[in-house]
Structure 1
Amino acid sequence: MYFFTGFPGFIALMLLSELIGKWAPEKIYTLVLPHMKDKAIAEKERICSFTHFPHEKWEVIEGDITKPNLSLSREQLHMLASSVTHVFHLAAIYDLAVPENIARTVNVEGTKRVNEWVSSLPHLQRYIYFSTAYVSGTRQGMIFEHELDKGQAFKNHYEETKFLAEVAVQEIARNVPTTIIRPGIVVGHSKTGETIKFDGLYFMFNMFERLKFLPIIPYLGKGEAQGNFVPVDYIIDATLYLAHADEASGETYHLTDPNPYHMRDIYRMMMTEYLGKEPKGTLPLRLAKWAMSFSFVRQWLRVEKEALEYFECASIYDATNARNTLIKAGIVCPDFRDVIPVMARYYRKHRNDETKQLVIR
């Protein structure tokens, strides 16, 4: 019996679709906020229709991870305790520009509430927690999967609160069978390009679209940092395998690009693919950040200022544990050079869909 938070978010949607297709779950429970219930039911119906999964085997439950007992009734808690074997905790605020109070409430306090509930489940076989590789914060150099607290600072409230949440998960992992997933920056499907939001690396496409009238577009900074961008289908395949592999219990995995390109190369490949031309010259990153400090610039370009930090994030993410485990199932991360054209095609087709654009403040 499978229990998910974070539905109907993109990764949860993809996980559930693949779970149904490959693992034939006996029962699925998805916890959703009351105002998201209609959307969640619509997504459930859509997935059940194309997978032919019986509707009665999937229950959408109203709740709130920031409230005691997840806002579940005594009857619901008893029902779940008697059946749940796998818990996937994905609910979080992923926005790089999220205010601190909101990030702490959802990412930290919400995860602690889920931890408390998970620790009470008598039949639990695995707790799968979605963290991020960027719990490393401002650390530089090689970062290993077994590392967490090295006294690091953080580039934004998202990173800091995900770090604090993972600290809390690590504490209960001594007594609860836990697998921690640390993805890099997730992009769309490597074959279809499908994504739910044009954030993260898609901000570059937004910027290219706005600036395409210019005869010359410069590089942003030196771009010496490695870019860790991974397609969502790799994340899904890897996560579902690790959620069921005995050897993954008690482990932490970097689902990052094992052969990352430098940001300068990624920037050039994206511009060449989307605009058919290469960057010329270099705009110092400090000047780009200064320009992005003005809201009207951010809003016109459709780029969050915080995204620029990753052009100089000199971190290298070792993924030996993930690679050695996943290779047994033939699961490998695609070469990002091959993913960029697929991303560009999908973005070009859907760039005017306002539901896929973040509200930039």
Structure 2
Amino acid sequence: MVKGFFFTGFPGFICNQLIREVLKSNQLNGSVFVLILPDMVASAKKESAAIIAEYGLDESTFHIIVGDITKPFLAITEEEQEVLQHRVTHVFHLAAIYDLAVPRDIAQKVNVNGTENVNEWVRRLPNLDRYIYFSTAYVVGNREGTLYETELIAPPGFKNHYEQTKYEAEVLVETLKKEVPVTIIRPGIVKGHSNTGETIKFDGPYFIMNFLDRLKFLPLIPRLGKGEAFVNLVPIDYIIKATTYLSQLDKAAGKTYHLTDPHPYRASEIYEIMMQEMLNKQPKGMIPLTIGKWFLSIKPLRKFLGVEKEALDYFTWKGQFDCTHAVTDLKESGIACPDFKDGVKPMTAFYLQEKNNPTFQINIL
């Protein structure tokens, strides 16, 4: 049977790159089906045309399906449901609200209710080979210490609504493992491509770059807290290659993987490395994180600095992700997480090139 790859989250950056890698790994064979919201038709057509041109695909390979994961049966027409029922072999569910500052109601609607609807839809696919669900390593919430891929434990609390709703969504997907071949992907904090630095939005580690860029006029720039916590940053190319490989690996069915850096750096080290690369400076002095959070509670200040206040929670959280299963199952493929330090130059160059482009900066609320 010809493979049929169904994606939610198109035309998001991770989804776009994942489609390319999946097609390449299958020698450009198979059909692609992307579920998009009605207001995304224009951008979806533009991105799909780029993929078709890039690989010389027949236009009949790529199918844009208008729908909505927050609606029953994904709001897909009966005619299209009939086609998908027979042709879909792999489902990649990436659609989610990824913003750390997302309100609870929106996160619940998209991340939890949306995933429940996708789960119900997946259950009805007679030719399903694999359901790949994109979670996050941070479903662990406020749990600390060593955190394992085999665990899905309700934490004592969460740092934000994003973490909480992704945990609740993963619980729903975990129960599905009894019925369908599921692979759960838990990435760390995703950054741009390790070789090119390319990304489409400056969040996560780029908040540090925004902070440093806004304060570069100062003769001395202090540290933000002690920075003893490990911050797990992973380049998008590792996530894409690893996910594609695991989606076609038989023994990955029924497993959950931490796609995280097995050798992460401390927050203070990342801060120093970025400052050296961007400004050729080293930090002097320290601002306690409590004061930093107070500053970021003032809307004009956090907008000026380009930093969400929720991001500071990751500077103090003391958890480390065990990624033994991922490292072991990826070993034969040669796919491994690049060292953060090796990708800093292209990451910084791309940031400096695009920092004034408003399409890359997220709206700080």
TM-score between the two structures when normalised by the length of structure 1: 0.99
Gapped runs of 5+ residues in structure 1? none
Deviation at 1:22, TM superposition (A): 2.4
Deviation at 1:151, TM superposition (A): 3.6
Q: Taking structure 1 as reference, are residues 208 and 151 closer, same or farther at Cα in structure 2, changes over 3 Å only?
A: closer
1:8 is aligned to 11
Residues in 1 aligned to 2:339 and 2:356: alpha-carbon distance in whole angstroms: 28
Deviation at 1:241, TM superposition (A): 0.2
- Counterparts of 1:79-90 in structure 2, within 5 Å, are 79-90=83-94
Report the 3-state secondary structure (helix = DSSP H, G, I; strand = E; otherwise coil) of the residue aligned with 2:119: helix
- 1:221/1:285 contact within 8 Å kept: yes
Deviations 1:210-232 (A, max 9, x none): 10000111110111110100000
2:349 is aligned to 345
Gapped runs of 5+ residues in structure 2? none
1:131 is aligned to 135
Report the 3-state secondary structure (helix = DSSP H, G, I; strand = E; otherwise coil) of the residue aligned with 2:359: helix
- 2:211/2:305 contact within 8 Å kept: yes
Deviation at 1:15, TM superposition (A): 0.4
2:22 is aligned to 19
RMSD: 0.7
2:115 is aligned to 111
2:286 is aligned to 282
Deviation at 1:248, TM superposition (A): 0.2
Tell me the amino acid that sits aligned with residue 16 of structure 2: L
Q: 1:141 aligns with which of 137, 141, 145?
A: 145
Residues in 1 aligned to 2:275 and 2:29: alpha-carbon distance in whole angstroms: 43
Deviation at 1:21, TM superposition (A): 2.1
Is 1:51–2:55 an aligned residue pair?
A: yes
Deviation at 1:114, TM superposition (A): 0.1
Residues in 2 aligned to 1:52 and 1:205: alpha-carbon distance in whole angstroms: 38
Is 1:322–2:341 an aligned residue pair?
A: no
2:205 is aligned to 201
1:226 is aligned to 230
- Counterparts of 1:67-82 in structure 2, within 5 Å, are 67-82=71-86
- 2:238/2:336 contact within 8 Å kept: yes
1:245 is aligned to 249
Tell me the amino acid that sits aligned with residue 295 of structure 1: K
2:304 is aligned to 300
Is 1:210–2:224 an aligned residue pair?
A: no
Report the 3-state secondary structure (helix = DSSP H, G, I; strand = E; otherwise coil) of the residue aligned with 2:108: helix
Residues in 1 aligned to 2:68 and 2:101: alpha-carbon distance in whole angstroms: 22
- 2:23/2:30 contact within 8 Å kept: no
Deviations 1:110-157 (A, max 9, x none): 000000000110000000000000000000100000001244310000
Report the 3-state secondary structure (helix = DSSP H, G, I; strand = E; otherwise coil) of the residue aligned with 1:91: coil
Residues in 2 aligned to 1:237 and 1:54: alpha-carbon distance in whole angstroms: 24
Q: 1:100 aligns with which of 98, 104, 119?
A: 104
- 1:20/1:53 contact within 8 Å kept: no
Q: 1:120 aligns with which of 118, 124, 129?
A: 124
Q: 1:163 aligns with which of 123, 142, 167?
A: 167
Deviation at 1:93, TM superposition (A): 0.1
Residues in 2 aligned to 1:84 and 1:190: alpha-carbon distance in whole angstroms: 32
Deviation at 1:75, TM superposition (A): 1.5
Tell me the amino acid that sits aligned with residue 94 of structure 1: Y
Equivalenced residues, count:
361
- 2:140/2:155 contact within 8 Å kept: no
Residues in 1 aligned to 2:158 and 2:292: alpha-carbon distance in whole angstroms: 20
Residues in 2 aligned to 1:25 and 1:149: alpha-carbon distance in whole angstroms: 39
TM-score between the two structures when normalised by the length of structure 2: 0.98
- 1:254/1:318 contact within 8 Å kept: yes
Deviations 1:328-355 (A, max 9, x none): 1000100111111111000011111100
Residues in 2 aligned to 1:62 and 1:248: alpha-carbon distance in whole angstroms: 30
Residues in 1 aligned to 2:353 and 2:30: alpha-carbon distance in whole angstroms: 37
Residues in 2 aligned to 1:133 and 1:46: alpha-carbon distance in whole angstroms: 31
Deviations 1:65-113 (A, max 9, x none): 0001100111211110111000000000000000000000000000000
- 2:69/2:118 contact within 8 Å kept: yes
Q: 1:60 aligns with which of 39, 58, 64?
A: 64
1:173 is aligned to 177
- 1:197/1:357 contact within 8 Å kept: yes
Residues in 2 aligned to 1:314 and 1:26: alpha-carbon distance in whole angstroms: 43
Deviation at 1:162, TM superposition (A): 0.1
Residues in 2 aligned to 1:340 and 1:75: alpha-carbon distance in whole angstroms: 48
Deviation at 1:260, TM superposition (A): 0.6
Deviation at 1:275, TM superposition (A): 0.6
